[in-house]
Structure 1
Amino acid sequence: MSRRGLISPLTRAALVATTTMLALSACGGEQAGPKLELTAALPDAPADGTTLRVGDPATQVALETSGLIDDLDVDVEWANITGGPKTLEAFRADAIDIGSVADIPPLFAHWTGTDVRIVAARETVDPMEHPTYELGVAPGVDVTSIEDLKGKKIAYSPGQAQGALVLNVLREAGLTQDDVELVEMQSVDDAFSVALAGKQVDVAPLGQTLVKTYLAKYERDGATTIQPGVRDDAWTLYAPTTVLEDADKAAAIKDYVGVWAEAQQWISDHPDEFAQAYYVDHEGLSPEDATYVVDALGEFTVPTDWDEFIARHQQTVDTLVEEQDQEPLDVETIYDRRFEKAIAAAVSSEGKGS
């Protein structure tokens, strides 16, 4: 079967969240606000009683732990939903209004018929020293550099950030898809770690939360990891256009993204507190592993000028168009730059007040 032209199906794992999503959808059945054109100025404030449904547990923990949640002027209903496939499923079930993902899920939402807009962006201060992913190497497999990937079986999730990372790594190594065997699977929970341990694949991208546990279990058997050698730090908030066409929801998101930006800075400034509150208390990692993860991920920054971020995103789009036969896309068309101005104003105001 050709490796090109792959459109990832909605992951089966998303189905486990269906009951929760339906409950959230039922709870979120408030009357829609006034219609707002996507080019109209954002309202200053939503109507009383407006609730914003957010799938971003890491930011929820940061806001609650830091006390920044008190700065929100809008009611937020939190959903414990992460990752592109589950977030897209939640959008399609009308279970959440806004989600937090890497830069690939908004593209695949667009390519699979869900109209979305990116409303905020985040990147890593030193992305080459603090990659979001490392390449996990199965026990007994000899891979010490990305050039060694030739001839290897690599886990590949085309609709997720990990899939784009694999393509970018191959390009950086001077390899093509024909030089390796791409094994399509969804990166959900520890699926890639399990595939590595079971020798289903030789190499797989692992998020930093999985790297430490993978090595702890299998390093004695010869498991290793290597650096990807490419940037992989792009992070976004995005929302369906139907949400942004609701004036009250759009105003609520305008308020939310400003406080969200403050939360990202708080995470960078308080790594120990965030490690304990999120990775230990919420995610169940050991304190040692939590410290490892926050150190590995480094510090974050929220750009107030999106030009460079969008330019890098366009390069990713062009890679996917070429390597996966996706439809060409001017990626700026899925950015709602009204929120760029809102974030810049919020960050500027916070700086003056500090």
Structure 2
Amino acid sequence: MSSKTTRRTLLAGTPAVAALAALAACSDEPEGPLLSADADLPTAVPDGTKIVIGDPAQQLAFELSGLVTLLDFEVEWANISGGPKSAEAFRAKSLDLSSVADIPPIHTNWTGLPTKIVAAAGRIDPIDHPIYELGITPGVDVTSLEDLRGKRIAYSPGQAQGALILRVLDAAGLAQDDVELVELPSTADTYSNALAGGEVDVAPIGGTQVKSYLNKYGVDGATTIPHGLRDDPWTLYAPVEVLEDADKAAAIAQYVRLWGAAKLWTRANRDEWIQAWYVDHEGLPFEDGEYLFDREGEPDFPENWDETIQRHQETIEVVAEGTGNPVLDAEDIYDRRFEQLVNEGIAEYGDGGAS
């Protein structure tokens, strides 16, 4: 394979509207041949193919591991991830592929933006390595899920944290009327600040927010409790219209094939990854990077998506009931043509990158 030009991130430090305008060029590219949903994926990427990918951590993993040199297309990396930003960029036709949890693909299909999941992963021992914990405001007595009754809980519709809260209530045998859901966007430190300010009693917090929240407010009585549910879904998704472009579908397939190997490279190169991602990119102290790396645990790339889709179906049903949306068939939001590609790449490259 011959390496194509790779462009650096376009969006860092720019407002969302300006970022979308900067990326709009991808919608002006000539469309490739039409690829039907039941056609085999192309096995070669034509010259001149370009896609825009929002997968910031994997961008760095691809670059450090050398796997980026194996991409036979031009990639523009967008500093976009998560549901709201990726959906906005998809609608603007300025993004082709993005990294999200399992809720954004549900939400886009509910809101008239058909998307498909093309890669799915999780964590080994996900209960022992959760993404989120439930942060509890100082002075509020919550030690179990049953204690959530009557509490004010931060809630973000359409995002993974919001879906987690609905699943937590379901697990606790509580209805939405049994609590007060306080709608807040789950951005940056919004939830931690809301807890500290007494705006809510409970909020799902993750990453360094857990550590910093307890360090700052533990002396005042702040606590966290485990929610006891799987919260580890990690996917790549793309608009259906992008996957109908044969050239872009071929490029996405090539990226998906290397996606798992890039992640495994980060686990095999612990200190280098902590320094490059958590310290240099995220601006965290090295010890916080170690905390996050160890908290994350080992990735799990399923050999088939049967169990993944079944769990996703259960999530859809809980969230649909909680939001009044129709129940989708989870099978319909997965593109099984991509199902085997991640493990094919892992079998070839393992955690060694392209060297």
Give deviations 1:81-128, integer Å, cap 9, x for gaps.
121111111111111100000000000000001010000001101100
> For the residues of structure 1 that align with 2:69 and 2:244, how far apart are their CA atoms?
26
* CA positional deviation for 1:295: 1.1
- The residue number in structure 2 matching 1:332 is 331
Does residue 282 (structure 1) correspond to residue 281 (structure 2)? The answer is: yes
- The residue number in structure 2 matching 1:62 is 61
Letter paired with 2:44: A
Partners of 1:134 and 1:211 within 8 A in 2: yes
The TM-score normalised by the length of structure 2 is 0.91
> For the residues of structure 2 that align with 1:342 and 1:66, how far apart are their CA atoms?
19
Letter paired with 1:74: F
SS of the residue 1:81 aligns to: coil
* Number of residues of Structure 1 aligned to a counterpart in Structure 2: 340
Mapping 1:11-160, distance limit 5 Å:
16-26=15-25, 29-160=28-159
> For the residues of structure 1 that align with 2:347 and 2:304, how far apart are their CA atoms?
12
Q: CA-atom RMSD, angstroms?
A: 1.8
List runs of 5+ in structure 2 lacking aligned partners: 1-13
Partners of 1:74 and 1:255 within 8 A in 2: no
SS of the residue 2:15 aligns to: helix
Q: Percent identity?
A: 58
> For the residues of structure 2 that align with 1:284 and 1:169, how far apart are their CA atoms?
32
> For the residues of structure 2 that align with 1:52 and 1:27, how far apart are their CA atoms?
7
SS of the residue 2:16 aligns to: helix
SS of the residue 2:134 aligns to: strand
Letter paired with 2:131: T
Letter paired with 2:75: V
Give deviations 1:45-81, integer Å, cap 9, x for gaps.
2211111200010101111222222222222110001
Does residue 223 (structure 1) correspond to residue 226 (structure 2)? The answer is: no
**Runs of at least 4 residues off by over 4 Å:** none
Q: 1:289 to 1:344 in 2, by over 3 A?
A: closer
> For the residues of structure 1 that align with 2:61 and 2:315, how far apart are their CA atoms?
29
Between 168-177 and 109-118, the greater mean CA deviation after superposition: 168-177
Give deviations 1:131-181, integer Å, cap 9, x for gaps.
011111112222222222111100011201111111111222222212211
> For the residues of structure 2 that align with 1:209 and 1:30, how far apart are their CA atoms?
40
> For the residues of structure 2 that align with 1:331 and 1:272, how far apart are their CA atoms?
38
* CA positional deviation for 1:27: 5.4
- The residue number in structure 1 matching 2:242 is 243
- The residue number in structure 2 matching 1:204 is 203
> For the residues of structure 2 that align with 1:75 and 1:303, how far apart are their CA atoms?
28
> For the residues of structure 1 that align with 2:112 and 2:62, how far apart are their CA atoms?
33
SS of the residue 1:165 aligns to: helix
Partners of 2:52 and 2:76 within 8 A in 1: yes
> For the residues of structure 1 that align with 2:43 and 2:208, how far apart are their CA atoms?
38
Mapping 1:281-300, distance limit 5 Å:
281-300=280-299
